Amino acid sequence: MDSSPTLTEAIDAFVLYAQNIRRLSPRTCASHRRHLGAFARWRGPQTPVSSLTYMSLEAYILSKAQVSPGSLANIVAVLHTFGAYLLLQNLVAQNPATLLPFPRRTRPLPLYLSLPQIEALIAALPFSPLGRRNQALTRVLYSGALRVGEALALTTHDLLWGESKIYVRTGKTAAASRYVEFLPPAQEAVRSYLAVREQFILRPIPLLFLTYQGQALSGKDVNRFLARAGETAGLPLRVHAHLLRHSMATHLYQKGVDLKELRDYLGHASIQSTDVYTHMGDRQVSESVRRVHPWAQPAAVREAEGILKQEGFHAQP
Protein backbone atom coordinates (compact mmCIF):
# COMPACT_ATOMS: atom_id res chain seq x y z
CA MET A 1 0.00 0.00 0.00
CA ASP A 2 1.36 3.43 -0.99
CA SER A 3 2.12 5.51 2.12
CA SER A 4 2.47 8.66 0.02
CA PRO A 5 0.11 11.49 1.03
CA THR A 6 -2.89 12.15 -1.15
CA LEU A 7 -3.17 15.16 -3.39
CA THR A 8 -5.59 16.79 -0.94
CA GLU A 9 -3.24 16.26 2.00
CA ALA A 10 -0.22 17.49 0.05
CA ILE A 11 -2.05 20.59 -1.15
CA ASP A 12 -3.10 21.47 2.41
CA ALA A 13 0.51 21.06 3.59
CA PHE A 14 1.82 23.08 0.64
CA VAL A 15 -0.51 26.01 1.33
CA LEU A 16 0.57 26.04 5.00
CA TYR A 17 4.19 26.00 3.85
CA ALA A 18 3.50 28.91 1.49
CA GLN A 19 1.82 30.89 4.28
CA ASN A 20 4.15 30.21 7.19
CA ILE A 21 7.54 29.50 5.63
CA ARG A 22 7.57 31.37 2.34
CA ARG A 23 5.36 34.14 3.77
CA LEU A 24 3.35 34.49 0.58
CA SER A 25 0.39 36.86 0.64
CA PRO A 26 -3.08 35.53 1.52
CA ARG A 27 -4.21 36.35 -2.01
CA THR A 28 -1.37 34.31 -3.56
CA CYS A 29 -2.00 31.39 -1.23
CA ALA A 30 -5.71 31.44 -2.08
CA SER A 31 -4.84 31.44 -5.78
CA HIS A 32 -2.49 28.46 -5.31
CA ARG A 33 -5.17 26.54 -3.44
CA ARG A 34 -7.78 27.30 -6.08
CA HIS A 35 -5.60 26.14 -8.99
CA LEU A 36 -4.34 23.04 -7.20
CA GLY A 37 -7.84 22.20 -5.97
CA ALA A 38 -9.08 22.21 -9.56
CA PHE A 39 -6.23 19.91 -10.54
CA ALA A 40 -7.00 17.56 -7.62
CA ARG A 41 -10.66 17.34 -8.64
CA TRP A 42 -9.60 16.48 -12.19
CA ARG A 43 -6.95 13.93 -11.17
CA GLY A 44 -8.73 12.59 -8.11
CA PRO A 45 -8.40 14.02 -4.57
CA GLN A 46 -7.16 10.72 -3.13
CA THR A 47 -4.49 10.20 -5.76
CA PRO A 48 -1.07 9.57 -4.12
CA VAL A 49 1.34 12.37 -5.00
CA SER A 50 4.03 9.78 -5.69
CA SER A 51 2.06 8.77 -8.79
CA LEU A 52 2.19 12.22 -10.36
CA THR A 53 4.10 12.32 -13.63
CA TYR A 54 4.84 14.79 -16.36
CA MET A 55 2.33 12.94 -18.55
CA SER A 56 -0.49 13.43 -16.04
CA LEU A 57 0.26 17.14 -15.68
CA GLU A 58 0.49 17.56 -19.44
CA ALA A 59 -2.87 15.83 -19.88
CA TYR A 60 -4.41 18.26 -17.39
CA ILE A 61 -2.98 21.28 -19.22
CA LEU A 62 -4.28 19.92 -22.55
CA SER A 63 -7.74 19.65 -20.98
CA LYS A 64 -7.62 23.42 -20.44
CA ALA A 65 -7.58 24.27 -24.14
CA GLN A 66 -10.32 26.89 -23.73
CA VAL A 67 -8.44 28.80 -21.01
CA SER A 68 -6.70 32.04 -22.01
CA PRO A 69 -2.89 31.92 -22.36
CA GLY A 70 -2.47 34.23 -19.35
CA SER A 71 -4.62 32.06 -17.06
CA LEU A 72 -2.96 28.90 -18.37
CA ALA A 73 0.47 30.36 -17.61
CA ASN A 74 -0.65 30.95 -14.00
CA ILE A 75 -1.78 27.31 -13.70
CA VAL A 76 1.54 26.05 -15.08
CA ALA A 77 3.46 28.30 -12.67
CA VAL A 78 1.54 26.92 -9.69
CA LEU A 79 2.16 23.33 -10.82
CA HIS A 80 5.88 24.11 -11.13
CA THR A 81 5.93 25.53 -7.60
CA PHE A 82 3.92 22.64 -6.18
CA GLY A 83 6.22 20.12 -7.86
CA ALA A 84 9.28 21.86 -6.40
CA TYR A 85 7.68 21.64 -2.94
CA LEU A 86 7.01 17.90 -3.36
CA LEU A 87 10.65 17.37 -4.34
CA LEU A 88 11.85 19.43 -1.37
CA GLN A 89 9.80 17.24 0.95
CA ASN A 90 11.15 14.04 -0.69
CA LEU A 91 7.64 13.06 -1.73
CA VAL A 92 8.69 12.62 -5.39
CA ALA A 93 11.97 11.59 -7.00
CA GLN A 94 11.87 14.55 -9.39
CA ASN A 95 9.66 17.55 -10.04
CA PRO A 96 7.00 16.26 -12.46
CA ALA A 97 6.36 19.78 -13.76
CA THR A 98 9.97 20.60 -14.71
CA LEU A 99 9.43 20.02 -18.44
CA LEU A 100 5.94 21.52 -18.49
CA PRO A 101 6.18 24.45 -20.96
CA PHE A 102 4.68 27.84 -20.31
CA PRO A 103 2.17 28.93 -22.97
CA ARG A 104 3.16 31.92 -25.02
CA ARG A 105 1.33 35.01 -23.88
CA THR A 106 -0.13 37.17 -26.62
CA ARG A 107 0.18 40.90 -25.98
CA PRO A 108 -3.10 42.72 -26.55
CA LEU A 109 -2.93 45.57 -29.02
CA PRO A 110 -3.41 48.99 -27.43
CA LEU A 111 -6.77 50.65 -28.05
CA TYR A 112 -6.66 54.28 -29.14
CA LEU A 113 -8.79 57.23 -30.23
CA SER A 114 -8.52 59.03 -33.56
CA LEU A 115 -7.63 62.73 -33.65
CA PRO A 116 -11.27 63.73 -34.37
CA GLN A 117 -12.35 61.62 -31.40
CA ILE A 118 -9.76 63.36 -29.20
CA GLU A 119 -11.19 66.73 -30.23
CA ALA A 120 -14.74 65.48 -29.65
CA LEU A 121 -13.73 64.39 -26.17
CA ILE A 122 -12.33 67.83 -25.35
CA ALA A 123 -15.36 69.57 -26.88
CA ALA A 124 -17.58 67.57 -24.52
CA LEU A 125 -15.93 69.19 -21.50
CA PRO A 126 -17.74 72.32 -20.21
CA PHE A 127 -16.10 75.75 -20.19
CA SER A 128 -16.55 76.29 -16.45
CA PRO A 129 -13.46 76.85 -14.28
CA LEU A 130 -13.28 73.11 -13.59
CA GLY A 131 -13.98 72.38 -17.22
CA ARG A 132 -11.15 74.66 -18.31
CA ARG A 133 -8.83 72.80 -15.94
CA ASN A 134 -10.03 69.48 -17.36
CA GLN A 135 -9.60 70.67 -20.95
CA ALA A 136 -6.05 71.80 -20.20
CA LEU A 137 -5.19 68.55 -18.44
CA THR A 138 -6.67 66.46 -21.25
CA ARG A 139 -4.68 68.34 -23.89
CA VAL A 140 -1.46 68.05 -21.86
CA LEU A 141 -2.01 64.31 -21.31
CA TYR A 142 -2.54 63.70 -25.01
CA SER A 143 0.02 66.14 -26.39
CA GLY A 144 2.82 64.81 -24.21
CA ALA A 145 1.63 61.19 -24.15
CA LEU A 146 2.02 61.46 -20.39
CA ARG A 147 1.25 58.96 -17.70
CA VAL A 148 -1.44 60.35 -15.44
CA GLY A 149 0.98 60.48 -12.49
CA GLU A 150 3.46 62.48 -14.55
CA ALA A 151 0.80 65.01 -15.56
CA LEU A 152 -0.47 65.43 -12.01
CA ALA A 153 3.09 66.00 -10.74
CA LEU A 154 3.68 68.92 -13.13
CA THR A 155 4.33 72.33 -11.61
CA THR A 156 3.91 75.74 -13.18
CA HIS A 157 7.71 75.88 -13.49
CA ASP A 158 7.73 72.82 -15.78
CA LEU A 159 5.99 74.71 -18.59
CA LEU A 160 8.66 76.02 -20.95
CA TRP A 161 6.57 78.42 -22.99
CA GLY A 162 9.36 79.82 -25.14
CA GLU A 163 10.58 76.37 -26.17
CA SER A 164 7.09 74.86 -26.50
CA LYS A 165 8.19 72.04 -24.19
CA ILE A 166 7.12 70.52 -20.89
CA TYR A 167 9.71 69.17 -18.48
CA VAL A 168 8.52 65.78 -17.16
CA ARG A 169 9.98 64.24 -14.03
CA THR A 170 9.89 60.50 -14.70
CA GLY A 171 12.10 59.24 -11.90
CA LYS A 172 14.13 60.35 -8.92
CA THR A 173 17.06 61.61 -11.00
CA ALA A 174 17.35 64.18 -13.77
CA ALA A 175 18.60 61.45 -16.09
CA ALA A 176 15.22 59.75 -15.84
CA SER A 177 13.34 62.90 -16.84
CA ARG A 178 12.44 64.07 -20.34
CA TYR A 179 10.90 66.85 -22.41
CA VAL A 180 7.64 66.54 -24.34
CA GLU A 181 5.83 68.83 -26.76
CA PHE A 182 3.79 71.80 -25.54
CA LEU A 183 2.19 72.99 -28.76
CA PRO A 184 -0.39 75.75 -29.42
CA PRO A 185 -3.62 73.81 -28.72
CA ALA A 186 -2.25 72.68 -25.36
CA GLN A 187 -0.75 76.11 -24.61
CA GLU A 188 -4.05 77.88 -25.30
CA ALA A 189 -5.94 75.49 -23.06
CA VAL A 190 -3.42 75.89 -20.23
CA ARG A 191 -3.50 79.71 -20.55
CA SER A 192 -7.29 79.58 -20.28
CA TYR A 193 -7.00 77.44 -17.15
CA LEU A 194 -4.29 79.59 -15.59
CA ALA A 195 -6.62 82.61 -15.92
CA VAL A 196 -8.99 80.95 -13.40
CA ARG A 197 -6.48 78.84 -11.45
CA GLU A 198 -6.38 81.36 -8.60
CA GLN A 199 -9.92 80.28 -7.74
CA PHE A 200 -8.46 76.87 -6.80
CA ILE A 201 -5.61 78.16 -4.60
CA LEU A 202 -6.14 78.25 -0.85
CA ARG A 203 -2.43 78.31 -0.06
CA PRO A 204 0.76 78.64 -2.13
CA ILE A 205 1.20 75.40 -4.07
CA PRO A 206 3.37 74.80 -7.15
CA LEU A 207 1.31 71.95 -8.62
CA LEU A 208 -0.24 72.92 -11.93
CA PHE A 209 -3.51 70.98 -11.74
CA LEU A 210 -5.53 71.36 -8.55
CA THR A 211 -8.93 70.43 -7.12
CA TYR A 212 -11.40 73.16 -6.20
CA GLN A 213 -10.11 72.79 -2.63
CA GLY A 214 -6.57 73.60 -3.75
CA GLN A 215 -5.38 70.01 -3.32
CA ALA A 216 -3.57 67.65 -5.66
CA LEU A 217 -5.77 65.75 -8.10
CA SER A 218 -5.81 61.94 -8.05
CA GLY A 219 -5.72 59.60 -11.01
CA LYS A 220 -9.24 58.47 -10.13
CA ASP A 221 -10.44 62.08 -10.39
CA VAL A 222 -8.96 62.35 -13.87
CA ASN A 223 -10.32 59.05 -15.16
CA ARG A 224 -13.75 59.90 -13.76
CA PHE A 225 -14.14 63.14 -15.71
CA LEU A 226 -12.60 61.61 -18.84
CA ALA A 227 -15.07 58.70 -18.75
CA ARG A 228 -18.00 61.12 -18.37
CA ALA A 229 -16.76 63.27 -21.25
CA GLY A 230 -16.29 60.20 -23.43
CA GLU A 231 -19.88 59.13 -22.79
CA THR A 232 -21.14 62.65 -23.55
CA ALA A 233 -19.21 62.66 -26.83
CA GLY A 234 -20.60 59.25 -27.75
CA LEU A 235 -17.17 57.66 -28.08
CA PRO A 236 -17.07 53.86 -28.54
CA LEU A 237 -14.40 53.28 -25.85
CA ARG A 238 -14.37 54.00 -22.13
CA VAL A 239 -11.92 56.89 -21.94
CA HIS A 240 -9.16 57.02 -19.33
CA ALA A 241 -5.86 58.82 -19.07
CA HIS A 242 -3.74 55.95 -20.38
CA LEU A 243 -5.94 55.71 -23.47
CA LEU A 244 -4.83 59.24 -24.38
CA ARG A 245 -1.18 58.16 -23.99
CA HIS A 246 -1.78 55.15 -26.24
CA SER A 247 -3.56 57.38 -28.75
CA MET A 248 -0.69 59.85 -29.08
CA ALA A 249 1.87 57.03 -29.29
CA THR A 250 -0.14 55.37 -32.06
CA HIS A 251 -0.61 58.64 -33.95
CA LEU A 252 3.12 59.36 -33.83
CA TYR A 253 3.96 55.84 -35.00
CA GLN A 254 1.46 56.10 -37.84
CA LYS A 255 3.18 59.32 -38.92
CA GLY A 256 6.56 57.59 -39.08
CA VAL A 257 8.26 58.24 -35.74
CA ASP A 258 11.08 55.76 -35.22
CA LEU A 259 10.61 53.29 -32.36
CA LYS A 260 13.67 54.55 -30.50
CA GLU A 261 12.41 58.14 -30.70
CA LEU A 262 8.98 56.97 -29.59
CA ARG A 263 10.51 55.08 -26.66
CA ASP A 264 12.32 58.22 -25.53
CA TYR A 265 9.21 60.37 -25.95
CA LEU A 266 7.09 57.95 -23.88
CA GLY A 267 9.78 57.49 -21.25
CA HIS A 268 9.90 53.73 -21.67
CA ALA A 269 12.89 52.03 -20.07
CA SER A 270 12.86 49.21 -22.65
CA ILE A 271 12.20 49.18 -26.39
CA GLN A 272 10.06 46.08 -25.79
CA SER A 273 7.43 48.25 -24.11
CA THR A 274 7.29 50.46 -27.19
CA ASP A 275 7.31 47.58 -29.68
CA VAL A 276 3.59 46.98 -29.13
CA TYR A 277 2.87 49.95 -31.42
CA THR A 278 4.36 48.14 -34.43
CA HIS A 279 0.89 46.67 -35.01
CA MET A 280 0.26 49.82 -37.06
CA GLY A 281 2.11 48.43 -40.10
CA ASP A 282 4.78 49.83 -42.44
CA ARG A 283 6.11 53.35 -41.92
CA GLN A 284 9.08 55.52 -42.85
CA VAL A 285 11.74 56.57 -40.37
CA SER A 286 10.74 59.88 -38.78
CA GLU A 287 12.71 63.11 -38.84
CA SER A 288 11.41 64.35 -35.49
CA VAL A 289 8.42 64.14 -33.20
CA ARG A 290 7.78 67.87 -33.63
CA ARG A 291 7.52 67.54 -37.41
CA VAL A 292 4.71 64.97 -37.27
CA HIS A 293 2.95 65.80 -34.01
CA PRO A 294 -0.83 66.06 -34.70
CA TRP A 295 -0.87 69.50 -33.09
CA ALA A 296 2.36 70.81 -34.61
CA GLN A 297 0.44 73.24 -36.82
CA PRO A 298 -2.80 75.09 -36.20
CA ALA A 299 -4.04 73.71 -39.53
CA ALA A 300 -4.14 70.27 -37.99
CA VAL A 301 -6.64 71.50 -35.45
CA ARG A 302 -8.74 73.26 -38.10
CA GLU A 303 -8.76 70.09 -40.18
CA ALA A 304 -9.81 68.06 -37.13
CA GLU A 305 -12.61 70.50 -36.38
CA GLY A 306 -13.84 70.17 -39.97
CA ILE A 307 -13.87 66.39 -39.71
CA LEU A 308 -15.73 66.66 -36.41
CA LYS A 309 -18.52 68.65 -38.02
CA GLN A 310 -18.72 66.14 -40.88
CA GLU A 311 -19.02 63.26 -38.42
CA GLY A 312 -21.73 65.03 -36.41
CA PHE A 313 -19.72 65.86 -33.30
CA HIS A 314 -20.71 69.09 -31.57
CA ALA A 315 -19.53 70.88 -28.46
CA GLN A 316 -21.81 70.72 -25.46
CA PRO A 317 -23.42 74.03 -24.44
pLDDT one-digit tens code per residue, 8-25 = 999 999 999 999 999 988
pLDDT of 275 > 90? The answer is: no
Give 55's contacts (C-beta < 8 A, 6+ positions apart). none
User: In this structure, are 178 and 255 located in the same domain?
Assistant: yes
**What pLDDT, on a 0 to 100 scale, did the predictor assign at position 256?**
81
The model carries a pTM of 0.59
Query: 15 or 290, which is more confident?
Result: 15
**What CATH number does the domain containing 17 carry?**
1.10.150
**What pLDDT, on a 0 to 100 scale, did the predictor assign at position 32?**
95
Q: What is the pLDDT of residues 52-70, one digit of tens each?
A: 999 999 999 999 988 888 8
Q: Which of 38, 53, 88 is the last residue of a domain?
A: 88
**What CATH number does the domain containing 122 carry?**
1.10.443.10
User: In this structure, are 149 and 82 located in the same domain?
Assistant: no
pLDDT of 175 > 90? The answer is: no
User: In this structure, are 150 and 46 located in the same domain?
Assistant: no
**What pLDDT, on a 0 to 100 scale, did the predictor assign at position 147?**
93
pLDDT of 311 > 80? The answer is: no
User: In this structure, are 161 and 293 located in the same domain?
Assistant: yes
How far is it, in rounded angstroms, from Cα 182 to Cα 167?
10
Q: What is the pLDDT of residues 72-131, one digit of tens each?
A: 989 999 999 999 999 999 999 999 999 988 887 666 667 899 999 999 999 999 999 999
Mean pLDDT, rounded, for 175-191? 90
User: In this structure, are 140 and 69 located in the same domain?
Assistant: no
Looking at every residue in the chain, the average pLDDT score rounds to 84
User: In this structure, are 170 and 55 located in the same domain?
Assistant: no
Mean pLDDT, rounded, for 198-211? 86
User: In this structure, are 151 and 83 located in the same domain?
Assistant: no
User: In this structure, are 140 and 49 located in the same domain?
Assistant: no
User: In this structure, are 227 and 138 located in the same domain?
Assistant: yes
User: In this structure, are 259 and 119 located in the same domain?
Assistant: yes
User: In this structure, are 292 and 221 located in the same domain?
Assistant: yes
**What pLDDT, on a 0 to 100 scale, did the predictor assign at position 119?**
95
User: In this structure, are 139 and 284 located in the same domain?
Assistant: yes
Domain count, the chain: 2
Range of the structural domain that residue 17 is part of: 7-88
How far is it, in rounded angstroms, from Cα 316 to Cα 15?
56
**What pLDDT, on a 0 to 100 scale, did the predictor assign at position 198?**
87
Query: 281 or 50, which is more confident?
Result: 50
| Residue 98 belongs to some domain of the structure | no
Query: 192 or 288, which is more confident?
Result: 192
**What pLDDT, on a 0 to 100 scale, did the predictor assign at position 254?**
83
Q: What percent of the chain has pLDDT over 70?
A: 82
Q: What is the pLDDT of residues 298-307, one digit of tens each?
A: 544 444 444 3
How far is it, in rounded angstroms, from Cα 165 to Cα 181?
5
Mean pLDDT, rounded, for 226-232? 97
